[in-house]
Structure 1
Amino acid sequence: MPMPEDRLPGRCQQLAYPEAVLLTNPTNPELKGEVDDKYQYSSEDQDIKVHGWISFDPPIGFWQITPSDEFRTGGPVKQNLTSHVGPTTLSVFLSAHYSGGDLVPKFRNGEYWKKVFGPVFVYLNSASDRRDPKKLWEDAKMQMLREVETWPYNFPMSEDFEKSWQRGSVSGKLLVRDRYVDGEDMQANGAYVGLALPGEAGSWQRECKGYQFWTRADANGIFTIRNVRTGDYNLYAWVPGFIGDYKYDATIKITSGKNIDLGDLVYEPPRDGVTLWEIGIPDRSAAEFYIPDPNPRYVNRLYVNLPTDRFRQYGLWDRYTELHPDGDLVYTIGKSDYKKDWFFAQVTRKTNQNSYQPTTWQIKFHLDGVRQSGNYKLRVALASANLSELQVYSYLELSFWNFLCDNYM
């Protein structure tokens, strides 16, 4: 990584926002021409369990290990920062990054609030073999797995940090009932299942005062959420491939040393009829859509060989204008392929005056017959949104003024 002095005048070029610079004269010549941007060093909370650095001479590793994200806010797919330029490692507990003010706790009228953040684990390692210092990274990941297994720690003296014998657990099996897909209940393979403060379905995404405990169901939809702090929770879930959020009707009270078996739970996704067409996968990610190569002038080599994170390259929003210079995206159902033809983010268009204007995408589809007295519904599932407004218009040739049916996008 570059050093803090690489961001001083004469060593870099300021880009679109203060956090992003192009390294023009870095202290390490190998980094010349790369973009440094703290937002590139981000990840989902569920994956921020170990991060840090290796010093190559001498080969020493400095690592921050977070065995549990129970004290973080916004759920497992909330994005957060891990590092800044130079020797700065971050342990982010509360953050409005990538989400906005909804995830900033607000307290009114003398409201009482207490929460334990952490502990986090700092791990140092070294290697006698200078030929392959990256073995330190493999060792750090192994240490992370050991720390996850020993969570919750026994050493904290605070009465507010509950130990393993003071906690409880919840188990069950989640099924999906969608008669337009299958006549039988389907197993919620890989479902995200979690406990958070009581609220409406999906409220866990904006919840920022309590604790959250999440797990992934197995191929049969079976789940167990372990080491849950005592208290009252709602159980929430969502299933990749199905739109919408599940919420268990009753409040769950966790008590010390007890497992609550909820048995079979059934999630019925919102549905108004058969699906006429679909673009993408409702999985709270845009990874299946088209992600362009970065502008060769603005590359961070860290992500060149990481296809799952290639969307983190700087400046991809301007690539939309370059790929669609004469008009906006037009997607034709039955002909277009969302892996190649649907840009991963609906962004603004850069003009010659170096300003930005809204874009209008079109989805074209054909229906052999339309029931004029029937209802057709468009469903849109957003992976994320920031400082944005989405407007949807329908235009149908001939004389039909109806929406289309059940699009999962």
Structure 2
Amino acid sequence: MESGDVVLSIFDSHVVLDNGIVMVTLSKPGGCVTDIQYGGIINLMETLNLESHRGYWDLNWNEPGGPLQSDLIQGREFSVVVETPDQVEVSFVRNWDSVSSPPTDIPLNIDIRYILLRGSSGFYAYAIYQRPSGFPDCDLVQTRMVFRLSKDKFQYMAIADDKQRVMAIEDDRSPGRCQKLAYPEAVLLTNPINPALKGQVDDKYQYSLDNKDGGVHGWISFDPMVGFWIIFPSHEFRNGGPTKQNLTLHAGPICLAMFHSGHYIGDNSCKFRNGEAWMKVLGPFYVHLNSSSEFVDPFLLWNDAKQQRLYEEQSWPYYFPASPNFLKKEERCSISGRFLVDDRFISTQIFPADSAYIGLAAPGEAGSWQKESKGYQFWTKTDQNGYFQIVNINAGEYNIYGWVPNVVGDYKNEIALQLSPGSSTDLGDLIYKPPRNGPTLWEIGIADRTALEFNVPDPIPKFINSLYINHPEKFRQYGLWERYADLYPENDLVYTVGISDYTKDWFFAHVTRKRNDGTYQGTTWQIKFQINTLIQIGFYTLFISIASPTRSILQVRCNDPKVEPPHFETPLIGQDNSVARHGIHGFYQLFMMQINPYWLVHGNNTLFLTQRVNTGPFNGILYDYIRLEEPDVPY
């Protein structure tokens, strides 16, 4: 053995991987991370926890129509996959069996793997989830890997350049140290161990990130100076595409590698029916460790972690995972092309889709990629001329999906692509013709699939998270839904086209109002506008682009607030919970309403928008953009 060799040691109940920089101990045959030694810390994990609750994989699932179940995954068979001086890969397998498996086990075969490389300041983890044909029906609701770090060491978190702070620990959320708020995840710290945190809100949803904006997050210990980071080299194996918001970390200290959840998009369970066969590789992701021999600005460790993320991204797909189910570079394929927009009311010429998102996901309806979870997704952004290239795609069948800034709706190619290993496909020009029926009479907001441009109010003073004071993401503050009743205590919002300013006069969330008796009432917003020349031929068209709905029914009435039935009504839409979870967007939807000119008048008109579901404070709609179009008729 030479210095720096990767050494594997196997004991009765543990397996140890050691490369001289980091030493990782795993339970055997369970496959949980019980001990990480690095940078002078004997164990980065929380030793007060059971070994099975330090670094572990878990999931939530249910039988069709049955209750939700939790499944902490424990391997039953251990094996060595690779053992060389340069690399060790170990496997912990739990196969499902109708006779011997306990009822809490999801009907999946699960193979959890860890890899340690020579010279690496960290380790890799991934899992292979597989259903042979004929397994029982079930719904996979959520799955992740969880790291519970030493609470005595790791109390400073970082998820972005401007999102770093000292955090509460799990003890601060216990009775006597906090006040429970509107849902279990949120508490007001009343007697925290760190007195500097007194009077602040702790809520894990305040640290969510879009897949497209994440890639690295973690914790820092100040004594000694050590960083623990989760790095995603790719998001192809995570559900919901680039705009899916995922949890990153929270008080504990806990660090999460989220692969699949319904947060911010509602029910997107992997529903397996009729013995469907399925397989997916989750990861690998990288656990990066860094340190300094003396106390330094924590931003230096954060910057190092960001640089490591770039290295991991450039190294993707990795060459070293031993599973044949993880496709190597030579087994993958690529596409290229140009994305264009054809909207003659924006431009007389077809124009490039500048900075548009375009990607591949499983065949489905336009926009279905937002909830797609069984397969892989591959996305990129176009350049200013609309050109794009997507590389390292797993072979298979896909639709092409996309959306364009300042343009409503979702693009989808009509014919699914069959991509073979090693292929390179030039798609030529892809032309998106967005929904459009006539020239714009007026519009509110920006078609960017978020409510960020609207009036996000200042937080309630007693419910502050200091991280988001004077921060561009002030929507992350707790309790903003209550500010609507503060600003509109009796009469609802009224917006006058041409006079009102949507950045100040359009509340970011169409929510309920709490009554004095503790119940809630639906609210009706008004849009007032003028029609100087009423066109009697054809229909006016109202486009309502929704950034996120939560258990809502939207009704629209023209000039008569009491007409029944309403001129337009959606079904019950949305399980996003984006308002409660401090997200400015969720599952995007676009609704189009034809307006009969007989409902309108020459001169002053009013649209009444009613969100009528009033079961609680979190029923509501985040609007993205609203546009009224005139009929397209020659004058």
Alignment counterpart, residue 14 of structure 1, candidates 169, 180, 184? 180
What residue in structure 2 maps to residue 127 of structure 1? 292
The answer to whether the aligner puts 1:401 opposite 2:599 as a matched pair is yes
Kept in 2: contact 1:243–1:408 (CA 8 A): no
Alignment counterpart, residue 75 of structure 1, candidates 216, 241, 244? 241
Shift of 1:354: 2.7
Structure 1 range deviating more: 348-357 or 399-408: 399-408
What residue in structure 2 maps to residue 234 of structure 1? 399
Kept in 2: contact 1:45–1:77 (CA 8 A): yes
Inter-partner Cα distance in structure 1 for 2:627 and 2:323? 47
Alignment counterpart, residue 136 of structure 1, candidates 286, 301, 307? 301
Please give the TM-score of this superposition, normalised by the length of structure 1: 0.96
Which amino acid counterpart does residue 483 of structure 2 have in structure 1?
R
Kept in 2: contact 1:275–1:407 (CA 8 A): no
Alignment counterpart, residue 90 of structure 1, candidates 252, 256, 265? 256
Kept in 2: contact 1:192–1:237 (CA 8 A): yes
Kept in 1: contact 2:441–2:627 (CA 8 A): no
The answer to whether the aligner puts 1:382 opposite 2:550 as a matched pair is no
The answer to whether the aligner puts 1:279 opposite 2:444 as a matched pair is yes
Q: Any gaps of 5 or more consecutive residues in structure 1?
A: none
SS at match of 1:172: strand
Kept in 1: contact 2:217–2:248 (CA 8 A): yes
What residue in structure 2 maps to residue 348 of structure 1? 512
Which amino acid counterpart does residue 247 of structure 1 have in structure 2?
K
**Aligned residue pair count:** 406
Kept in 1: contact 2:333–2:424 (CA 8 A): yes
Which amino acid counterpart does residue 206 of structure 2 have in structure 1?
Q
SS at match of 2:187: strand
Please give the TM-score of this superposition, normalised by the length of structure 2: 0.62
Kept in 2: contact 1:194–1:213 (CA 8 A): yes
Inter-partner Cα distance in structure 2 for 1:80 and 1:148? 19
Kept in 1: contact 2:249–2:256 (CA 8 A): yes
Shift of 1:193: 0.1
Which amino acid counterpart does residue 353 of structure 2 have in structure 1?
A
Inter-partner Cα distance in structure 2 for 1:228 and 1:115? 14
Shift of 1:48: 2.3
| Percent of matched pairs sharing the same residue | 57
Shift of 1:306: 2.8
Q: Deviations over 1:230-272 (max 9, x none)?
A: 1111111110100011112222122222211111111111000
Q: Deviations over 1:147-184 (max 9, x none)?
A: 11111111111111001111001111111111111111
Inter-partner Cα distance in structure 2 for 1:355 and 1:318? 13
Which aligned runs of 4 or more in structure 1 are off by greater than 4 angstroms? 402-407
Counterpart mapping for 1:10-409 below 5 A = 10-101=176-267, 103-307=268-472, 309-395=473-559, 400-402=598-600, 407-408=626-627
Which amino acid counterpart does residue 117 of structure 1 have in structure 2?
L
Kept in 2: contact 1:194–1:215 (CA 8 A): yes
More helix by share: 1
Inter-partner Cα distance in structure 1 for 2:555 and 2:254? 41
Inter-partner Cα distance in structure 2 for 1:113 and 1:133? 43
Inter-partner Cα distance in structure 1 for 2:494 and 2:277? 52
Q: Deviations over 1:278-334 (max 9, x none)?
A: 001111111111111111111111122430x21111000001111111211100000
Structure 1 range deviating more: 221-230 or 247-256: 247-256
More strand by share: 2
Q: Any gaps of 5 or more consecutive residues in structure 2?
A: 1-166, 562-596, 608-624, 629-635
Which amino acid counterpart does residue 2 of structure 1 have in structure 2?
A
Shift of 1:396: 6.3
Which amino acid counterpart does residue 269 of structure 1 have in structure 2?
P
Inter-partner Cα distance in structure 1 for 2:400 and 2:538? 36
Kept in 2: contact 1:276–1:407 (CA 8 A): no
Kept in 2: contact 1:42–1:81 (CA 8 A): yes
Inter-partner Cα distance in structure 1 for 2:186 and 2:553? 25
RMSD: 1.8
